[in-house]
Chain A
Amino acid sequence: MKIVTELLAFWQLQADKIGHQTLQHIGLTAASLVLGVLVGVPLGLLLRRRPRLAPWVLGLAGVFQTVPSIALLGFLIPAMGIGPAPAILALFLYSLLPIVRNTLAGVRGVDAAVVDAARGLGLTDGQILRQVELPLAFPVLLAGIRTAAVINVGVATLAAYIAAGGLGEFIFGGIALNNPAMILAGAIPAAGLALGFDAALAGVQRLAGRRLVWAGRALLLALPVLAGLYLLPRAATKLLAGFSPEFVGRADGLPGLQHRYGLRPASVVLAPALVYEAARHGNVDIIDGYSTDGRIRAYDLLTLRDDRHAFPPYQAVPVVRHQTLAQHPELAAALNRLTGQLTDSAMTELNYRVDYLHESPRAVARRFLRERGLWRAPRPVPGPATIRLGSKIFAEQYILTELYTALIRGYTNLGVEAKTGLGGTTICAEALRTGAIDMYPEYTGTGLLVVLQPSAATLDSLGSDPATVLRYVRQQYRRRYQLEWLAPLGFNNTYALLMRRRQAQQLGIGSISELSRFLR
């Protein structure tokens, strides 16, 4: 019941956004279907005349179909960047197979005697196509469009990852924040759309004769109109922001900025992995990031000063289960060897090596330990005892995981199993609480705002002093979850707003306050 109330509240709060996203979603689906029909139907008809090409073309379309959608988007980004163009292209590629295949099956299914008779009566090839083959193939062709439509409504949620909007924005935000109401807020309209497209096309399919022809024409007109929904004017804006889904939903992310600075930039949602690229290539102007990210250096981005302390301190600290520490007393000592070793600049350097120079996190971690004289060759593992390390999906967490793996294997006789790539904070925290993992590196501010979620009064009392915040989360985690925050690693990986350095300097923006003033 609680989730229903949350969901309704969310919808009420975000009504205009949901509406806009739904229109975008319909637009994306319809645009890709228009392309699919414009290319797929003639292609299917061509294959009818050139049957030898059919296995090749269908095979190729089938290959597109089998590429996982997120990977297909990934392939398109280097060539086309981000935004609606690659999203529509990817959706179009997905719609191609069912449309081509069904067009071909449809015209192949037309009785050869009917075509022969029509030709014998003196119909031209064009007349045979328009008056005989297409009308008779239409029900099968329509079934293909219907399949493509349903597939595309689903895949279009992924468009949110590349700043093309749609209902995926809330879905991915919800997944990143483990907020089921938020996921549903996007998923339910998406499912509704899929059912709507399916039912509408099924209705057309059931028509017969004259009415079917009219419905087909109406459909051909309606699709481009629906596709046009995507082009509804977005708010005209001086600067466009591109934010990761988690940042949009987190209290210390965009909502915090809105609260402290009154900052409401026009924004699109993007996959976390893509925000830096988007800023670098000028697709967006303002992004969220982490202050120790290597790409800040690599892409010459400027961290805007958080002059009103909207972002709480984010000291990196290993969080470990009490039970694990009790069972393996030698573990804490091994982990603490890293305490204070990683300053902001040290961590940024390591991230830079992985993110930009594409060195492996393991190699980077080992070299760092060697330089600091902490490296020891792995010891034999005599028993079954294994520490399960978790990490979120970004380079810094992978590096920290490798550092800890090396330390545990070098200084203890424990085995290590790494569970990298756990979606977001809440997934990691949940895994740790339930014992699916034994430890993972967390940031104090994240633990405070995402996991503990104290009242506004408590937050104010804590202020932005790193030590105070660490003391509070450590105490609360012990009491509530029997989890231990060990000593901080040294760096403070806080959220940061980033702009391209040159643009920021041109506009005279150095802090978030100045940005907020500029946008107003």
Chain B
Amino acid sequence: MAQNPPALEARHLTRRYGTQPAVQDVSFALAPGETLVLLGPSGCGKTTLLRMLNRLVEPDAGTVLVHGQDVRQVPVERLRRGIGYVIQQVGLLPHYTVAENVAIVPRLLGQTDAWIARRTDELLTRLHLPPARFGGQYPHQLSGGQQQRVGLARALAADPPIVLLDEPFGALDPLTRTSIRREFRELPELRQKTMVLVTHDVQEAFELADRILLLDHGRVQQLGTPAELLFRPATAFVREFFAADFLSLQLRVLRLQDILSYLPLEENETPVNAYNSESTTISPTATIQDALQQFNPSFTATPPAPPQPVVWVRGLNPAHPDEPAPLTYPALMGAFARAAQQLQTA
């Protein structure tokens, strides 16, 4: 960190609208590849904060640095061309085809036609929009989910190291939203990106964030990992903000390895030879939620029927870390409950 400046840094950003402060003295620094989620209720200033990062809104005070350089030292258009930008309403140019929309920034940067065509095809294919079919279509011919995928492809077209996303999944129906979010999370393009994402959806924040910045009335309530916010809330506001989703968030935050020490050391009733090669094993880094999803009914139907549903976890037995060991539902839930209790009272 000392020799490598943060990919994106905000220092004491403040912005007022009239006398009404929208963002007050917000600072953060992101390492390359890190994803920061700006979270908070409507009107908390999270969109204003995001828009200050690519100078769509000028701060009244404070500085934004990209790779250590003050953004005011670069021409604003050049700055923006180097930062991907995705918004809830997508904002595709309605008179441009899908391919032309994706090509906007590379064209501004003076890339060759061949390079642009190859890049567009590659991105559209990766986002499940076969270029042969979708490249020539106009935005109004696409569904909401497809439009947002194009919006994402457009933001990524010039391969910017930083991507800003303002409620990118906000306008989609829950089903499409979940599936696009999964694609998004798994997109190799995004693995190396430094991202700042605005949302008011707590589940989304916990699913995507490396760190969360929770805002209220323009002030930072807490900046930290999801687990930190959940188990060590800095203010009453933070605690209340997550109260309604507390249980499900814990399932997302806690991983199998976090609860290993709370597993009962009782005799394993399920023989190891019941392990079926068809059943998937999960790693200890999986979340409790992922593990719970593995308790699929089909397991119980596999003969010889085990007395209880199990999932196989590698590394459960410290003696044989490579050997999948079975984990029963009651054992998992019991350990989870004890771990959660411990973390809350700590």
What residues of B have a CB within 8 angstroms of the CB of A136 in the complex?
A: 94-95
Contact A113 B90 (CB under 8 A): yes
Contact B78 A122 (CB under 8 A): yes
Report Cα–Cα, A209/B93, bound state, in Å.
Answer: 12
From residue 78 to 114 of chain B, which have CB atoms closer than 8 A to chain A?
78-82, 85, 87, 89-95, 104-105, 108
Known: A120-B56, A120-B87. Is A114-B77 also a contact (CB below 8 A)? no
Interface centre among A113, A121, A127, A135 (most CB of B within 10 A): A121
| Minimum C-beta distance from A120 to chain B (A) | 4
Report Cα–Cα, A119/B57, bound state, in Å.
Answer: 11
Contact B54 A123 (CB under 8 A): no
A residues apposed to B, CB below 8 Å: 111, 113-124, 127, 131-132, 135-136, 209
Contact B78 A113 (CB under 8 A): no
Q: Is B154 an interface residue (CB 8 A)?
A: yes
What residues of A have a CB within 8 angstroms of the CB of B77 in the complex?
A: 122-124
What residues of A have a CB within 8 angstroms of the CB of B93 in the complex?
A: 114, 117-118, 131-132
- Other-chain contact of B91, A111, A122, A127, A131 (Cβ < 8 Å): A111
Known: A113-B87, A113-B89. Is A120-B54 also a contact (CB below 8 A)? yes
Contacts A122-B80, A123-B77 aside, 15 further interface pairs with beta carbons under 8 A come to A111-B91, A113-B89, A113-B91, A117-B90, A117-B91, A117-B93, A117-B151, A118-B93, A118-B104, A121-B154, A122-B78, A122-B79, A123-B108, A124-B77, A136-B94
Q: Quick one: CB contact mask for B33-64 with A, threshold 8 Å, 1 for yes?
A: 00000000000000000000010100000000
Contact B91 A118 (CB under 8 A): yes
- Other-chain contact of A122, B81, B90, B95, B151 (Cβ < 8 Å): B81
Q: Shortest 8 CB-CB distances between A and B: which pairs?
A: A117-B91, A113-B89, A122-B80, A120-B85, A122-B81, A113-B91, A122-B77, A114-B91
Interface centre among A122, A131, A209 (most CB of B within 10 A): A122
Report Cα–Cα, A394/B190, bound state, in Å.
Answer: 85
Report Cα–Cα, A113/B139, bound state, in Å.
Answer: 14
Report Cα–Cα, A115/B90, bound state, in Å.
Answer: 11
What residues of B have a CB within 8 angstroms of the CB of A115 in the complex?
A: 91
What residues of A have a CB within 8 angstroms of the CB of B95 in the complex?
A: 135-136, 209
Question: Which residue of A is nearest B79, CB measured?
Answer: A122
Contact B104 A121 (CB under 8 A): yes
What residues of A have a CB within 8 angstroms of the CB of B81 in the complex?
A: 121-122
What residues of A have a CB within 8 angstroms of the CB of B79 in the complex?
A: 122
- Other-chain contact of B105, A111, A116, A121, A135 (Cβ < 8 Å): A121
Report Cα–Cα, A117/B104, bound state, in Å.
Answer: 11
| Minimum C-beta distance from B185 to chain A (A) | 23
Question: Which residue of A is nearest B139, CB measured?
Answer: A114
Please report the total number of B residues contacting A with Cβ < 8 Å. Answer: 25
Contact A119 B80 (CB under 8 A): yes
What residues of B have a CB within 8 angstroms of the CB of A123 in the complex?
A: 77, 104, 108
Contact B80 A120 (CB under 8 A): yes
Report Cα–Cα, A387/B154, bound state, in Å.
Answer: 84
What residues of B have a CB within 8 angstroms of the CB of A119 in the complex?
A: 56, 80
Report Cα–Cα, A131/B85, bound state, in Å.
Answer: 18
| Minimum C-beta distance from B101 to chain A (A) | 9
| Minimum C-beta distance from B48 to chain A (A) | 13
Report Cα–Cα, A120/B80, bound state, in Å.
Answer: 6
| Minimum C-beta distance from A279 to chain B (A) | 56
What residues of A have a CB within 8 angstroms of the CB of B90 in the complex?
A: 113, 117
What residues of B have a CB within 8 angstroms of the CB of A132 in the complex?
A: 93
From residue 138 to 188 of chain B, which have CB atoms closer than 8 A to chain A?
138, 151, 154-155, 164
Interface centre among B93, B105, B164 (most CB of A within 10 A): B93
Report Cα–Cα, A132/B81, bound state, in Å.
Answer: 17
From residue 202 to 234 of chain B, which have CB atoms closer than 8 A to chain A?
none
Report Cα–Cα, A135/B96, bound state, in Å.
Answer: 11
Report Cα–Cα, A115/B108, bound state, in Å.
Answer: 16
Contact B87 A122 (CB under 8 A): no
Report Cα–Cα, A196/B17, bound state, in Å.
Answer: 52
Contact B108 A122 (CB under 8 A): yes
Known: A121-B81, A136-B95. Is A116-B108 also a contact (CB below 8 A)? no
| Minimum C-beta distance from A6 to chain B (A) | 53
What residues of A have a CB within 8 angstroms of the CB of B91 in the complex?
A: 111, 113-118, 120
| Minimum C-beta distance from A118 to chain B (A) | 7
| Minimum C-beta distance from B49 to chain A (A) | 15
What residues of A have a CB within 8 angstroms of the CB of B94 in the complex?
A: 111, 114, 136
From residue 295 to 315 of chain B, which have CB atoms closer than 8 A to chain A?
none
Q: Quick one: CB contact mask for B249-269 with A, threshold 8 Å, 1 for yes?
A: 000000000000000000000
Report Cα–Cα, A132/B91, bound state, in Å.
Answer: 11
Report Cα–Cα, A120/B91, bound state, in Å.
Answer: 10
What residues of B have a CB within 8 angstroms of the CB of A111 in the complex?
A: 89, 91, 94
Report Cα–Cα, A113/B151, bound state, in Å.
Answer: 12
Contact A117 B87 (CB under 8 A): yes
Report Cα–Cα, A111/B80, bound state, in Å.
Answer: 20
What residues of B have a CB within 8 angstroms of the CB of A131 in the complex?
A: 93
What residues of A have a CB within 8 angstroms of the CB of B105 in the complex?
A: 121-122
Report Cα–Cα, A121/B85, bound state, in Å.
Answer: 6
Report Cα–Cα, A228/B30, bound state, in Å.
Answer: 63
Contact B104 A116 (CB under 8 A): no
What residues of B have a CB within 8 angstroms of the CB of A114 in the complex?
A: 91-94
Report Cα–Cα, A123/B82, bound state, in Å.
Answer: 12
Q: Can you list 15 A-B pairs with a CB-CB distance of less than 8 A?
A: A111-B94, A114-B92, A114-B94, A117-B85, A117-B93, A118-B91, A118-B104, A119-B56, A120-B54, A120-B80, A121-B80, A121-B85, A121-B105, A123-B104, A131-B93
What residues of B have a CB within 8 angstroms of the CB of A122 in the complex?
A: 77-82, 105, 108
Report Cα–Cα, A119/B104, bound state, in Å.
Answer: 12
What residues of A have a CB within 8 angstroms of the CB of B151 in the complex?
A: 117
Interface centre among A114, A120, A132, A136 (most CB of B within 10 A): A120
Question: Which residue of A is nearest B78, CB measured?
Answer: A122
Q: Quick one: CB contact mask for B63-80 with A, threshold 8 Å, 1 for yes?
A: 000000000000001111
Report Cα–Cα, A353/B155, bound state, in Å.
Answer: 80
| Minimum C-beta distance from B299 to chain A (A) | 47
| Minimum C-beta distance from B110 to chain A (A) | 12
Contact B80 A117 (CB under 8 A): no
Contact B92 A117 (CB under 8 A): yes
Question: Which residue of A is nearest B87, CB measured?
Answer: A117
